[in-house]
Amino acid sequence: MRYGVLGVPIGLLTLVFWAGAAHAGTQPVITAAEAYVIDATDGTVPYAKREHRRVPVASLTKIMTAYVVRQEARLGDALTITTADVRHANASGATTAGLKAGERVSVRELLYALLLPSGADAAHALAERYGPGTSKFVAKMNAAARELGLNDTRFTNPDGLPGKGYSSAADQASLAQVALDDSVLRQVVKAGKHTYRKHVWRNTNKLLSEGALGLKTGYTTAAGFCLSFAEKRHGHLFIGVVLGETSDARRFTTARKLLSYAEGWSSET
């Protein structure tokens, strides 16, 4: 059994107490198709909406990619970016970190390239090295999901591009907790900007300027606008996930509503 923030067991967060949410006032009305918020400090669940529904989660997938890389790689390992890495991102119309073929980049820097601008080129380079090969790397992602108790999750690629993969809001919250327990990933996901040589990678999470600790944005037509987020308020660490939101702006508005509601809920329970 793996344990996360303050000893709360990973994979058991969906089983913690959630009765009594009605005592904390009216729940917010949100437009996201699925949403989930946990209080990782005491293991309670202030808000849940279709939290076990299996849906595409777009680039939130890259959180698991980063987690597997942390198990397999040393931060100082140097990778040579290939033409295939660059072509993969460009041909798929995916977000890219602007990596160039022949460039030598450390794993530490590639984690920033993966999680801030959500580079599919970085995801491809890491998967090819640490699978080795993408199919073997995806198998490692799915093995990690099973180990972490993410029973509503199946990955088919390391970048979240359209495919048959899926996860759930509850599983993504548990995965976010795991990522935040890793000091390196915790540092990466809260960075607003990271500069490496001629690259300037900017985080697309607009909540960072408001005190959020991370984690990741995502979007595809099938998944809608997605967001995994975390913030400390009054001694409580709240971790939330918004899936299937209708616009970029609304995913952040929804997250703000959920954080405010969770804060009030925790103060009354």
Neighbours of 73 (CB within 10 A): 18
Neighbours of 56 (CB within 10 A): 24
Question: Are the C-beta atoms of 99 and 105 separated by less than 8 Å?
Answer: yes
Neighbours of 186 (CB within 10 A): 15
* Residue positions annotated with a catalytic role: 59, 62, 118
Q: Which residues contact 212 (CB under 8 A, 6 or more apart)?
A: 190, 205, 229, 230, 231
Q: Which helix (H) or strand (E) holds 233?
A: strand 224-233
